Amino acid sequence: MSRTPRPDLAAGLAAPAGPAADLGRTGLAPAFAALVVGALAMGLSPVLVRLVSPEVGPFASAFWRVALALPALLRAEKLQKRAARQGFDWTDLEGPMDKLREEMDELAAAGTEQDRIEEAGDLLFAAVNVARAYGVAPEDALRAANRKFERRFRGMEELARARGVDFAGLTIDQQEALWTDVKASEANKAP
């Protein structure tokens, strides 16, 4: 079944007038701006359009178009960069490090599960800021840390197997000794 476009909608999108003519200067994504222009041209109340598109005009947030669907770590970095563009950023490396320590203390003092969730989030957000302050992409750094942890953990499992022991049956101290052995082995292989 094919659909025929409604002429009234096509006409509304083609001829912005009045307040709609100003939308080209708002920084809206072109497709969304076209929808807003069409809605205004068809007589939809500018107030209603404003409710549907709160980022129009001089009240646009620095966070406009930072996608909610991004992975949390990447979104935290983008939010911080946007805030920094507005001057809301540390001027030295000590500021983000102090904030990270503060968030660690707050997590340790959190009394309820909800408080722990909130403080753990604040801690992770602060850690992203520290990485950013050092010029490190947090997403790349965490991927590398994940690979390193997985490689070392697999090395521990292999050492336990080679020694004829059940890894899961070892005490934490015995597992830590395997971790140390794997790290030492990696250090000896490094160029």
- pLDDT of 64-123, one tens digit each? 878 889 999 999 999 999 999 989 999 999 999 999 999 999 999 999 999 999 999 999
Higher pLDDT, 136 or 15: 136
Q: Please, what is the Cα angle at 46 between 41 and 47, to 5 degrees? A: 155
Q: Give the pTM.
A: 0.66
59, amino acid identity = F
Written as six digits, the tokens of 179 are 């971790």
> What average pLDDT score do residues 38-57 get?
53
| Residue 25, pLDDT above cutoff 70 | no
Written as six digits, the tokens of 76 are 């935290």
| Residue 19, pLDDT above cutoff 50 | no
> Where, residue-wise, is CATH 1.10.287.1080 in the chain?
72-136
pLDDT level of residue 61 (50, 70, 90 thresholds):
confident
Residue 28 and residue 55 in contact, taking contact as beta carbons nearer than 8 Å? yes
| Residue 189, pLDDT above cutoff 50 | yes
pLDDT in tens, 145-180: 999 999 999 999 999 999 999 999 999 999 999 999
Architecture of domain 72-136 in CATH?
Answer: Orthogonal Bundle (1.10)
Please tell me the predicted confidence (pLDDT) of residue 124. 97
CA distances from 128 to 79, 97, 149 (A): 11, 11, 19
Higher pLDDT, 65 or 6: 65
3-state secondary structure of 172: helix
